[in-house]
Amino acid sequence: MRLITMICGGVLLAVTALAQPTAHYQKSSDGVLLPDLEATPGATLPVTIHHLCTPGYTKTVRHVTEEEKRHIYALYGAKVQPKVCCEVDHLIPLELGGSNDLTNLWPQPYSPKPGAHEKDKLEGALHKEVCAGKMKLEKAQQRISTDWYALYKELPGSQPGSKSSTQLEIKTLSLTSPVSPGNPASIAIKTVANAGCRITVQYLSGPSKAKGLAPKTADSQGQVTWTWLVGTRTTPGTWPIFVTCSKGQLQGILQTSFMVQ
């Protein structure tokens, strides 16, 4: 079997004369390599926001075998080359409900940039947006599967060095945990003075609607405190908390969790 090698957009391709690749990288107008959407349209799992936003979720669902990785490389005619190619990427990432199905996998190059590492940063930013209730999960899945690079250029926090990606620092000062159902919980955070802050407490049934979780403005010391009642029917477990703060062009997201038992 004759082996032919060629360079395409910085990616070393290895194609056999008897088995041509059936998927082909697409290019943006400025040269960024994108997946073939006919071969890799994306696929999702039936999963709730609660599960997606629970720390450690992706470890419970990540499963791509070496055989499947070889298949994906062959599908695109790609060959491993240090610092150039590739990461077997979930087009719709696991943290946004993506599946391990072959139609959701592609060998994403590291170079040219933005590439695999930059998409990873976009995925983290989107996950925070979804878990904080700032973007619908379905919209995030649709946008990243259709044209992740276009979304990368739009989303604040995804492009290092840009003015809009400058992050506010948010620190947890105190947090009530564990808490028993029927008792109050409280969290205090510190950010910059007069920043506008919102909190989302994510339970199994969805975001908490308890009184005391309304948006607040940080005081002159940059501190904000929320206190709410944990319902008597709240399911025991570890539940994520997301705090988002913004001031002008600056914004930041804090993710933490507390235990109900």
| pLDDT confidence bin for 163, thresholds 50/70/90 | very low
Instruction: Tell whether the model's pLDDT for residue 167 goes beyond 80.
Output: no
- 91-112 residue pLDDT tens: 999 999 999 999 999 999 999 8
Instruction: Tell whether the model's pLDDT for residue 48 goes beyond 90.
Output: no
For the chain, how long is the longest CA-to-CA vector?
72
**DSSP secondary structure letter of residue 85:** B
Q: What per-residue confidence (pLDDT) applies to 175?
A: 95
Instruction: Give long-range contacts, CB 8 A cutoff, 24+ apart: 207-210.
Output: 207/133
- Dihedral of alpha carbons 92, 94, 99, 100, sign: positive
Q: What per-residue confidence (pLDDT) applies to 158?
A: 56
Question: Mean per-residue pLDDT for 55-83?
Answer: 92
Instruction: Tell whether the model's pLDDT for residue 145 goes beyond 70.
Output: yes
Q: What is the pTM of this model?
A: 0.66
**Distance in angstroms between the alpha carbons of the first and the last residue of the chain:** 63
- 114-142 residue pLDDT tens: 999 999 999 988 998 888 888 899 999 99
CA-nearest of 94, 75, 207 to 140 is 94
Measured between alpha carbons, how far is 186 from 174 in angstroms, rounded to an integer? 8
Residue ranges and CATH numbers for the domains of the chain are 3-154 (no CATH), 166-260 (2.60.40.1930)
Q: What per-residue confidence (pLDDT) applies to 159?
A: 57
Residue 249 corresponds to which amino acid?
A: Q
**What distances in angstroms separate CA 137 from CA 128, 134, 206, 208, one per listed residue?**
11, 10, 13, 18
Counting residues of the chain whose pLDDT is more than 70, the rounded percentage is 88
Beta strands 196-203 and 184-190, pairing class: unpaired
Measured between alpha carbons, how far is 28 from 34 in angstroms, rounded to an integer? 7
What are the structure tokens assigned to 3, written together?
């082996």
- 222-238 residue pLDDT tens: 999 999 999 999 989 88
- 170-188 residue pLDDT tens: 999 999 999 999 999 999 9
Q: What per-residue confidence (pLDDT) applies to 56?
A: 85
